[in-house]
């Protein structure tokens, strides 16, 4: 059974989708550690879901990324999943887990990705462009933010009356499908792990 570490910054709904998927599809992977970079509602959610290890870090600590790497080294997961994680992963962690870190992004990448493109900024950019569709992408994390190989995408229609909040809420349930599906795709491509 593959071991998975999940990094979060927020409410942890994407993290929950990973834990629920593993319960519904037993024997593929287990979320063994949830780590946040700040105070986050998702920590309590992880405890309620009985995740074995739950750790809160502080992204403002000088040695924050060293602590994160130490935890990941001691956990030694097969994959690391960014599930609504807002800090940038430094090159030393990307190299340590090369090709084994994935992220969920609320747009059809390569559209509306890159530094600063998170949360409502993404949906605002989409609406301003006048596109009649958006969606979400589960992709491999590389040093170029939001540029790694896309594993799974779901497309979602955009209505003329949409606000960024409405579009966010329409896309989120598709993130909850794309993220575990992308993870399983990564784990079951044997050459990756
Ligand atoms: C959503 O804005 C989503 O687009 C982004 O993270 C947020 C969900 O956070 N990827 P969470 O998974 O509930 O913490």
- Tens-place pLDDT, residues 108-154: 999 999 999 999 999 999 999 999 999 999 999 999 888 999 999 99
Q: Alpha-carbon torsion 108, 110, 111, 114, what sign?
A: positive
Share of the chain above pLDDT 90, in %: 95
Q: Is the pLDDT of residue 193 over 70?
A: no
Residues 6+ apart with CB under 8 A from 22: 4, 28, 29, 30, 31, 180
- pLDDT band of 190, cuts 50, 70, 90: low
By most ligand atoms within 8 Å of CB, the mutation choice from 105, 119, 120 for ligand 1 is 119
Ligand 1 nearest atom to the CA of residue 119, by list position: 2
What is the Å distance from ligand 1's center to 132 Cα? 22
Tokens of 102: 């994935």
Tokens of 10: 């927020």
Residues 6+ apart with CB under 8 A from 172: 13, 106
Rounded Cα gap, residues 133 and 157, in angstroms: 4
Rounded Cα gap, residues 122 and 108, in angstroms: 10
Pairing between strand 150-157 and 133-140?
antiparallel
b/e code 49-81 from CB counts within 10 Å (16+ = b)? bebeebeebeeeeeeebeebbebbeebebbbbb
Q: Of 43, 39, 37, 88, which Cα lies nearest the Cα of 59? A: 37
Q: Is the pLDDT of residue 70 over 70?
A: yes
In tens, the pLDDT along 152-177 reads 999 999 999 999 999 999 999 999 99
Of the candidates 33, 105, 118, 123, the residue annotated as catalytic is 105
* Residue 189 pLDDT: 84
Rounded Cα gap, residues 145 and 29, in angstroms: 26
Q: Is the pLDDT of residue 192 over 70?
A: no
Structural contact between residues 83 and 14, judged by C-beta atoms closer than 8 angstroms? yes
Q: Is 105 a catalytic residue?
A: yes
* Residue 136 pLDDT: 98
In tens, the pLDDT along 3-29 reads 999 999 999 999 999 999 999 999 999
* Residue 12 pLDDT: 98
* Residue 191 pLDDT: 66
In tens, the pLDDT along 72-102 reads 999 999 999 999 999 999 999 999 999 999 9
Could you give the residue ranges of the DSSP H alpha helices within 40-163? 41-48, 64-75, 91-96, 120-129
């Amino acid at each position: 059974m593959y071991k998975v570490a999940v990094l979060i910054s927020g409410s942890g709904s994407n993290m929950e989708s990973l834990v629920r998927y593993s319960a519904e599809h037993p024997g593929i992977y287990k979320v063994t550690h949830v780590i946040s970079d700040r105070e986050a509602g998702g920590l309590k959610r992880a405890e309620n879901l009985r995740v074995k290890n739950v750790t809160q870090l502080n992204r403002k600590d000088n040695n924050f990324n060293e602590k994160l790497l130490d935890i990941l080294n001691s956990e030694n997961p097969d994959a690391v999943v960014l599930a609504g994680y807002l800090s940038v992963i430094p090159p030393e962690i990307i190299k340590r887990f090369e090709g084994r870190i994935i992220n969920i992004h609320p747009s059809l990448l390569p559209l509306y990705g890159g530094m600063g493109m998170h949360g409502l900024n993404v949906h605002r950019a989409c609406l301003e462009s006048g596109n009649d569709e958006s969606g979400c992408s589960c992709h491999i994390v590389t040093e170029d933010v939001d540029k790694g190989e896309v594993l799974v995408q779901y497309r979602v229609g955009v209505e003329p009356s949409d606000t960024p909040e409405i579009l966010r809420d329409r896309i989120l349930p598709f993130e909850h499908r794309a993220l575990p599906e992308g993870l399983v795709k990564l784990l079951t491509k044997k050459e990756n792990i």
